[in-house]
Amino acid sequence: MLSTVDTDGLDAAFAALGDPVRRTIVTRLAHGDATVTELAEPFELTQQAISHHVGVLRRCGLVDQRVHGTRRPCRLNTERLQSLSTWIDDQRRAWDDRLSALEAHLSESETL
H-state helical runs in 1-112: 4-17, 20-29, 36-40, 47-59, 78-111
Distance from C-alpha of 94 to C-alpha of 100, rounded to nearest angstrom: 10
Distance from C-alpha of 2 to C-alpha of 74, rounded to nearest angstrom: 28
The confidence band for 104, taking pLDDT boundaries of 50, 70 and 90, is confident
Q: What is the mean pLDDT of residues 89-103?
A: 88
pLDDT in tens, 39-88: 999 999 999 999 999 999 999 999 999 988 888 999 999 999 998 988 88
Give me the residues paired with residue 75 across strands.
Answer: 64
Distance from C-alpha of 76 to C-alpha of 34, rounded to nearest angstrom: 10
**In terms of pTM, does the model score above 0.75?**
yes
Q: Provide CB contacts within 8 A for 67, sequence distance 6+.
A: none
More confident residue, 19 or 104: 19
pLDDT for 100 equals 87
The confidence band for 3, taking pLDDT boundaries of 50, 70 and 90, is very low
* Whole-number average pLDDT of the chain: 89
Contact 14, 84 (CB under 8 A): yes
CATH pick for 4-86 out of 3.30.9.10, 3.40.190.10, 1.10.10.10, 1.10.1200.10: 1.10.10.10
Distance from C-alpha of 21 to C-alpha of 84, rounded to nearest angstrom: 19
Q: What is the mean pLDDT of residues 82-108?
A: 88
- Domain spans of the chain? 4-86
